[in-house]
Amino acid sequence: MKPIDFTSILLEWHAHSNKREMPWKGEKDPYKIWLSEIILQQTRVEQGWTYYEKFIEQYPTVTHLAAAKDEAVFKLWEGLGYYNRCKNLLFTARLIVDKFQSVFPATYEEIVELKGIGPYTAAAIASFAFNLPYAVLDGNVFRVLSRLFAIDTPTDSSAGKKEFTILASRLLDKQFPALYNQAIMDFGATICKPVAPVCSICPANKLCKAFAAGIMNTLPVKEKVLLKKNRWFYYFIFQYKDKILVHKRILKDIWENLYEFYLVETTEQVQWTEMHLATFLKDQLNITEFTVKAFSPAQKQQLTHQQIKGLLIQIDLKAIPESLQNKDWKSAKSIASLAFPKFINQGLEEMNKRTV
């Protein structure tokens, strides 16, 4: 894949289809950008939005914030948690006033040295405020790049951070870095979502290696997630006439080299209602005509360091959608010779008991 292919598609999407609204979007004041980024470090956008507006109203400039009493700022911060962020905010505001004469530093090297500001926040301020060519790497960007290039290096590992930093810089539009950075973060938040990405309407789905391999629901990989004690696996057994979709596990994870059905892994239990199923299948795979044949009972398998929970859902298709046409479809008879994890075999046995 040529990097420019995705970059141009992304900017086209941003210009014509990106409807995500946030009060700091398009902002050029480095103080306001910095404030929004610090608030959002451990906070959802919906919650951070209100706090951001209150802070801007109360402390419209870095000079106002630096002059504020600690107690007043902490009171305004109340409810956001992770109070070290607030302490660093005050420390850095006063440093900017004292050392930089109330003018926010304008180079990446100076910005990243400020207390409470790491490489991601520094790249965001440098690109959004000063249009400097630094690529942002937040959770949204890690996810988009991991799926786009089917990279299973853990994003929270040293090797992963280095690999993704190089890739993000390669893809960055050096002429319009602020535009590009905003676009890719919004793309990850609205299209390439953590759970159930809307692949069927993704403008880059033909370039996406994870979509081609059917592994978008297993990426990105995180070392911390792999060490979690509880994981939820939901397997969709897609059948068209005598053919069933299967997939060989190739990522560095449990059950490597064993076969499985179409997997959706989530961090919490999902109640697959009829409406939820229909929405998910339409959004991710553009499947609109199907019949739910059976659900397995809830499954559970205890491994050495983690417990796998979930179930199997058997679905008959009226036709194979374009999104699944190049996948591995095998006859129901030949599947018996494939090696599946115990979790799946147990689910199949229980499902067969219900249908006998």
Q: What is the 3-state secondary structure (H, E, C) of 89-132?
A: HHHHHHHHHHHCCCCCCCCHHHHCCCCCCCHHHHHHHHHHHHCC
Contact 56, 38 (CB under 8 A): no
CA distances from 251 to 56, 151, 256 (A): 45, 9, 6
Q: Which two tokens stand for residue 288?
A: 């609109």
Task: Determine whether domain 3-190 maps to CATH 1.10.340.30.
Answer: yes
**Phi and psi for 330 in degrees, rounded to 5?**
-125, 155
Residues 6+ apart with CB under 8 A from 185: 136, 138, 140, 141
The length of the chain in residues reads 356
pLDDT at residue 355, rounded to an integer: 61
Burial class (CB in 10 A: 0-12, 13-18, 19+), 190: middle
**Phi and psi for 141 in degrees, rounded to 5?**
-70, -45
CA–CA separation, 306 and 287 (whole Å): 33
Domain spans in the chain, listed from the N-terminal domain onward: 3-190, 224-355
pLDDT at residue 334, rounded to an integer: 92
pLDDT at residue 140, rounded to an integer: 94
Burial class (CB in 10 A: 0-12, 13-18, 19+), 305: exposed
For the chain (356 residues), the mean pLDDT of every run of 10, in chain order, is 76 94 90 95 86 96 96 90 90 96 96 95 96 95 96 93 95 95 96 92 94 89 73 95 92 86 91 93 94 92 87 95 91 91 92 70
pLDDT at residue 354, rounded to an integer: 67
CA–CA separation, 125 and 304 (whole Å): 44
pLDDT at residue 208, rounded to an integer: 95
CA–CA separation, 203 and 194 (whole Å): 17
The CA-to-CA distance between both ends of the chain, in Å, stands at 48
CA distances from 163 to 95, 137, 207 (A): 33, 11, 19
pLDDT at residue 228, rounded to an integer: 61
CA–CA separation, 134 and 106 (whole Å): 13
Contact 151, 196 (CB under 8 A): no
pLDDT at residue 210, rounded to an integer: 93
Considering the four listed CATH numbers 3.30.1490.20, 2.60.40.10, 3.90.79.10, 3.40.190.10, the one that applies to the domain covering 224-355 is 3.90.79.10
pLDDT at residue 225, rounded to an integer: 63
pLDDT at residue 226, rounded to an integer: 59
Contact 269, 309 (CB under 8 A): yes
* Residue among 37, 78, 322, 349 flagged as catalytic: 37
Q: Any catalytic annotation for residue 274? A: no
CA–CA–CA angle 319, 241, 233 (5° rounding): 80
